[in-house]
Amino acid sequence: MLASPSDRSVRATFEDSGYTLCVLMGKRCAREAAEAAERYLRSTVGAYLREQSERARSGGAARRGPPTAKRRTPAGRQSPSGAA
């Protein structure tokens, strides 16, 4: 990529590789995926999996939907339980 930044096929291959690494490592951006891959390669599989489970327990932002109190039914009325 650095040798020929204007070459579209090189750029497409670079972006495809970054996307694939994100998918494989379960990360949202290429930088995080590259760091996770480096950690994985430096450690044993067992140590890496323990680290990942510790990270999941340590907090962090969980992916969530909109607040349940604001959800509405298809008819536009608010449902009693808050869920649609």
The pLDDT, as a whole number, for residue 22 is 95
For the entire predicted model, the pTM comes to 0.51
The pLDDT, as a whole number, for residue 15 is 92
The pLDDT, as a whole number, for residue 47 is 81
Give the closest residue to 34 by CA, choosing from 21, 48, 43.
Answer: 21
CA 10, CA 48: separation in Å to the nearest integer?
32
Residues linked to residue 72 through DSSP beta bridges, in sequence order: 78
pLDDT-flagged residues of the chain (< 70): 1, 58-84
The pLDDT, as a whole number, for residue 71 is 58
